[in-house]
Amino acid sequence: MPDILLTRVDNRLIHGQVGMTWATHLGANLIVVANDEVAGDEVQQNLMDMAVASMAETRYFTIQKTIDVINLAGDWQHIFLVVKTPQDALRLAENGVPIRVLNIGNMHFSEGKKQVTSTISVDEDDKKAIRRLMDMGVRIELRKVPSDSVIPVEKIFE
């Protein structure tokens, strides 16, 4: 079983908060980004790698490749898994990726979404995915950085 320390929803994927603050806090030595677009975009990968420096290795996989290879992780790999949407996290979980804790950090506002915290906006599809993850036993936490207090997930459903 892979040692997935935390899975995070962040529509920016890797940036300073993820690459430095969260990875250090978790003790992660591998950040896996599961995103179909970024998996094939070396320019975006290189930009994201700059936010990590040498603190951890990075891998950029499609959602399907993550499903296919995550269980091959070695015992020495302490993984911080980053996805763009709750729907991506749900697809991973429904296909055998052992997600125990899902941190929702950044989901930007766009048309059709309701802002529930300063950094999280959701629509009905997001709510359905989050509810399904909860039904699967995944613990959901809302917070931007490790030093923030956890906001109750119920805030999403108000």
Catalytic residues: 15
Is residue 16 within 8 Å of 26, Cβ to Cβ? no
Q: How far is 102 from 82, CA to CA, in rounded Å?
A: 10
Beta bridge partners of 31: 58, 80
- Compute the distance between CA of residue 133 and CA of residue 135 in angstroms, rounded to an integer: 5
